[in-house]
Amino acid sequence: MSQVNDTRGRSVDLLLGGLLIAGFISVPFWADKGLVFLASVALVHIVFALSFNTIFGLCGMVSFGHAAYFACGAYASGLLLRNWEGVSIFTVLAAGGLAGGLLAVLIALLALRRASGNYFAILTLAFAELLHIVIAKSEWFGREDGLTGIKRPTLELPGMMPIDLGQGQNMFHFILAVSCVLVLGAWVVWHSGFGRQLAAIRQEPDRAAFLGLNIHRARLSAFALSGIGAGFAGAMYAPLAQLLTPEVAHWSFSALPILFCLLGGTAIFWGPVAGVLVFLGLEYSTRNILGLSEVVIGCTLLLVVLVFPGGLAGGVVRIRDLLCKPSARHAAPALNAEVQGVRP
């Protein structure tokens, strides 16, 4: 039965992933440049939200400073693109992911053994705010004015003509391709043996430790993977926006992946993706009236929390289960009668 459920779950994931990719591919054919840029930002936030959900939904740790790893990857990417002529975009991405991962490991080493629960969350927030102050006061990072002069590089692949990412919709297609790879990596982690270990640690840490799992090492590894994912998201954002301000390290930016996960649902892999799409869709559709966006998003989040505590994805699953229950109740007597050789 579990194998059947796993196969069905993978089929659903494959279907949802295919529909999502097809939807993003179609955007340049019907949308203007503004919407294409918004779709690119949505892809960055999807990677950002999934990286956060690795520690939040899978491992059960709350971090209020996840923007620090995003900012670290973004500024590492932006500095390379501004100061290194002809740098490879893949070098830029690797540097961003490595920078985010290293910062995450450093913070985890300092915080995991010294705090837990709410205290751990506040400690991560303190480290992120410290980074925000350093960026805002450092001339090397552009201070409050931001880091400018970030160029979109040329993509060079073996056997292909160089592709200028600054022309047309090339940057969007590149971000889409990289995001697909990163989302696939997050999906593999979520469904791997390591992901099941993290879920066991979230549910029963004492029992997991009794069974021989090294809880500290597993949480540290999860934090490192989460930081790498956030660093990659920041590395994609720098050439997309071509301007970085200290706001990408602010606590309000750390709140975004939390909102995405709570809105979409943390228990299901695609939940944060749904949260990103709904959040950005509401924000874009209400952008013309000052203050309306915050009111609509706040009311939507409140409604989801009250009606669907598991988020939008959890609500869909609950509705599906409710619709399936009547058929299951009718099928049970028929099955019992068939087993006993009696015509229902």
Per the CB < 8 A criterion, the answer to whether 160 and 242 are in contact is: no
pLDDT of res. 190? 93
Instruction: Name beta bridge partners: 155.
Output: 163
The verdict on residue 260 lying in a domain is no
Give how many domains the chain has, as a whole number.
1
pLDDT reported for residue 115: 65
* Structure confidence at residue 338 (pLDDT): 38
254 vs 248: CA distance, rounded Å: 8
**Is residue 343 very low, low, confident or very high in pLDDT (cuts 50, 70, 90)?**
very low
Exposure class string for 183-205: b at 16+ Cβ within 10 A, else e: bebbbebbeeebbebbbbbbeeb
The string of pLDDT tens digits covering residues 311-328 is 887 777 777 777 776 554
Q: Is the pLDDT of residue 339 over 50?
A: no
Residues 238, 294, 30: CA angle, nearest 5 degrees: 55
The reply to whether 317 falls in a domain is: no
289 within domain boundaries = no
**Residue 214 belongs to some domain of the structure:** yes
Question: Rounded to the nearest 5°, which phi and psi values hold at 290?
Answer: -65, 125
Question: Is 277 within the bounds of a domain?
Answer: no
Write 331-338 long-range contacts (CB < 8 A, 24+): none
**Is residue 69 included in any domain, yes or no?**
yes
Which residue segment(s) compose the domain that 135 sits in? 2-251
Contact in structure between 101 and 93 (CB atoms under 8 Å):
no
Confidence class of residue 331 from pLDDT cuts 50, 70 and 90?
Answer: very low
What distance in Å separates the CA atoms of residue 173 and residue 178, rounded to the nearest whole number? Answer: 9
Find the angle CA(207)-CA(211)-CA(212) to the nearest 5 degrees.
120
pLDDT cut 90: percent of the chain above it: 52
Q: Is 293 exposed, middle or buried (0-12, 13-18, 19+ CB in 10 A)?
A: middle
Give 163's DSSP letter.
E
The string of pLDDT tens digits covering residues 142-185 is 888 889 989 998 898 887 888 899 888 999 999 999 999 999 99
Residue 335 falls inside a structural domain = no
Q: How many residues comprise the chain?
A: 344
* pLDDT (tens digit per residue) in 72-115: 999 999 999 999 888 899 999 999 999 999 999 999 988 887 76
Tell me if 184 is assigned to some domain.
yes
Q: How far apart are CA 56 and CA 317, in angstroms?
A: 20
Q: What is the CATH number of the domain that holds 186?
A: 1.10.3470
Q: Which residue has the tokens 């999906």?
A: 187
Give tens-digit pLDDT for 180-228.
999 999 999 999 999 999 999 998 888 888 888 899 899 999 999 999 9
